[in-house]
Amino acid sequence: MSCCKGPGYASPLDAFNNGPREELLYVVCVRPNKNKQDYLATVDVDSKSPTYGQVIHRTYTGVTEDELHHSGWNVCSSCHDNAALKRDLLIMPGLHSCNVYAVDVGTDPRKPRLHKVIDGSKMRSFNCSFPHTTHCLATGEIMISTMGDENENGKGDFVLIDSKTLELTGTWTKGKNLAKFGYDFWYQPYHDVMISSEWGTPKYFKSGFHAEDISNPERYGTKLNVYKWSTRELQQVIDLGSEGCAPLEIRFLHDPKSAQGFVGCAVQANVYRFYKTAEGTWKADKVIDIPAKKVFKDGVESELNGLISDILLSLDDKYLYFSCWLHGDVYQYDISNPEHPKLISRVHLGGKVASEGLKILDKEELKNSEKPITVKGKILQGGPQMLQLSLDGKRLYVSSSLYSPWDKQVYPKMAEEGGWLVKLDVDTVNGGMKLDPDFLVDFGAEPDGPALPHEMRYPGGDCTSDIWLTDD
């Protein structure tokens, strides 16, 4: 076992082989009632604990209408060689408020407390809004991707925060070129590259999903933006076209020398593999296509796309997982050959067909999709959204909220009754997933009214928060 010098783990395989079993989950929760505060829920996932599967603490932001979404760390495995640093602050940006919350999880991991708030006016002063993904950098800085300018027009950029002072110091991008849209990002210094993805224009998507906006290049993105890491300059733009509309979560393989990864494209439910070519440029190919389901309602036939909303990779780079929020499915693919992912398993967890009583033409699909899913007596309203995998790859946690304006539009009953968190048990040797019938966190039973759970984090880092570097 490696000797841990600083935060995180020496390598992805160190985390995979030697990381502890998770005992706590920090779950970002949004309130469908905008007169109430969003919060961070601490969930006990220690199977030996008397409070297993329960919310044991709630850390409120102190204001309303934040729309918390994703979270990250002050430091992570990219700073593993610095013994002076400690992973003790969870960073939570609010999409709507642009506030950034630093939550102290080090003093008492079971009872996180609010440490500092960076007011949203500071972010807007740098002409940025709608902060999304948080990653820590080896420099000791915190970087957050942003999706809009100060007026919520589309603009892909990144803000920097000093991890010691927790002051927002400016933007990361250099040069004249900016990405048209923003969303997620992942950096791979060994190849001197960072790649970001795109959703769309915040002032339009924040009012809900509008099908007519999909084909409008001023409202939805279709591109991967490739930056030179050392100079912070946008150098290449890869247009995925209509099949790649709304490329959201982007993941390099965890191997810090890897020159490839995957991105999930929401609208058409496709997964693209991106990779470095022999010429040194970057390219992307579609490698997974989840077909739309033909459905009937009130005598009218239509097609229901899957909407891939989250993807992640196991720390040994063996399996790719993703969720289809509208179809209600979670997929597991073997990516031992990244050019040709192989479907291993699919688990159904709700979706539009069950929630709206739609009829499916395909008989095989009908068997998998029509019946509601019940866990511990609760019908799972909505569909699977965010994913979090245990370090050893044996447990996959699934939450149900995508974004509260869309939750209310697409799954109004879930927004009214509250979301959920369930667990899938994973066979890491042969592949396969199975729903745990005894694990459920019902966010409809919260003491101050229903909540919508989104991203999940472990106190010591996980496969979507941590990025590793290499010395050679």
- The answer to whether residue 469 sits within a structural domain is no
Q: Provide the pLDDT confidence category of residue 369 given band limits of 50, 70 and 90.
A: low
CB-based burial of residue 438 (10 Å sphere; 0-12 exposed, 13-18 middle, 19+ buried)? exposed
- The answer to whether residue 336 sits within a structural domain is yes
Q: Residue 22's Cα: distance from chain center in Å?
A: 18
Range in 87-101, 187-201, 292-306 with the lowest mean pLDDT: 292-306
pLDDT at 3: 47
Residue 315, SS3 per DSSP: coil
Query: For the whole model, what pTM was predicted?
Result: 0.96
Per the prediction, the chain carries an average pLDDT of: 95
Total Cβ atoms within 10 A of residue 340:
12
- What are the backbone dihedrals phi and psi of residue 461, each rounded to the nearest 5 degrees, phi first? 100, 165
Which H or E element spans position 247? strand 247-252
- The answer to whether residue 375 sits within a structural domain is yes
Report the distance separating Cα 149 and Cα 156, nearest Å.
8
Q: Strand 308-313 and strand 293-297: pairing?
A: unpaired
How many separate domains does the chain show? 1
- The answer to whether residue 189 sits within a structural domain is yes
Sheet holding 342-348, edge to edge: 308-313, 319-324, 329-334, 342-348
pLDDT at 421: 98
Angle at 123 between CA 117 and CA 128, to 5 degrees: 145
Give the residue, 365 or 185, on which the prediction is more confident.
185
Domain that holds residue 56: 12-457
Contact by Cβ (8 Å): 119, 99: yes
Q: Provide the pLDDT confidence category of residue 363 given band limits of 50, 70 and 90.
A: low
Report the distance separating Cα 223 and Cα 470, nearest Å.
28
**Tell me: the pLDDT tens digits for 205-253?**
999 999 999 999 999 999 999 999 999 999 999 999 999 999 999 999 9
Total Cβ atoms within 10 A of residue 448:
12
Query: Which residue type sits at 160?
Result: L
- How far is residue 143 from each of residues 163, 324, 361, 373, 434, measured CA to CA in Å? 10, 28, 46, 39, 36
Q: Provide the pLDDT confidence category of residue 371 given band limits of 50, 70 and 90.
A: confident
Q: Provide the pLDDT confidence category of residue 48 given band limits of 50, 70 and 90.
A: very high
Q: Show contacts of 231-235: CB within 8 Å, 24+ apart.
A: 231/174, 231/175, 232/172, 232/173, 232/174, 232/175, 233/173, 233/174, 233/175, 233/177, 234/173, 234/175, 234/177, 234/178, 234/179
pLDDT at 366: 57
- The answer to whether residue 4 sits within a structural domain is no
Give the contacts of 345 (CB within 8 A, at least 6 positions apart).
Answer: 331, 332, 431, 432, 433
Give the mean pLDDT of 59-85.
94
- How far is residue 406 from each of residues 61, 325, 433, measured CA to CA in Å? 22, 11, 28
pLDDT at 16: 97
- The answer to whether residue 253 sits within a structural domain is yes
CB-based burial of residue 297 (10 Å sphere; 0-12 exposed, 13-18 middle, 19+ buried)? middle
Give the mean pLDDT of 106-134.
98
E strand segments, 163-209: 168-171, 185-188, 193-196
Give the residue, 140 or 452, on which the prediction is more confident.
452
CA-only gyration radius of the chain, Å: 21
Give the residue, 92 or 365, on which the prediction is more confident.
92
Q: Residue ranges of the alpha helices (H) in 359-459?
A: 363-369, 404-410, 412-417
- How far is residue 80 from each of residues 133, 142, 188, measured CA to CA in Å? 21, 15, 16
- The answer to whether residue 132 sits within a structural domain is yes
Residue 304, token pair as written in the block: 């229901």
Give the mean pLDDT of 316-345.
98
Contact by Cβ (8 Å): 77, 5: no
CATH code for the domain in which residue 355 is found = 2.130.10.10
Residue 389, token pair as written in the block: 């995998």
Report the distance separating Cα 85 and Cα 78, nearest Å.
11
Which residue in this structure is represented by tokens 């505060």?
Answer: 37
Q: Provide the pLDDT confidence category of residue 1 given band limits of 50, 70 and 90.
A: very low
**Tell me: the pLDDT tens digits for 282-327?**
999 999 999 999 988 888 888 999 999 999 999 999 999 999 999 9
pLDDT at 300: 87
Report the distance separating Cα 73 and Cα 164, nearest Å.
12
- The answer to whether residue 148 sits within a structural domain is yes
Give the mean pLDDT of 162-167.
96
Report the distance separating Cα 122 and Cα 118, nearest Å.
7
Contact by Cβ (8 Å): 451, 29: yes
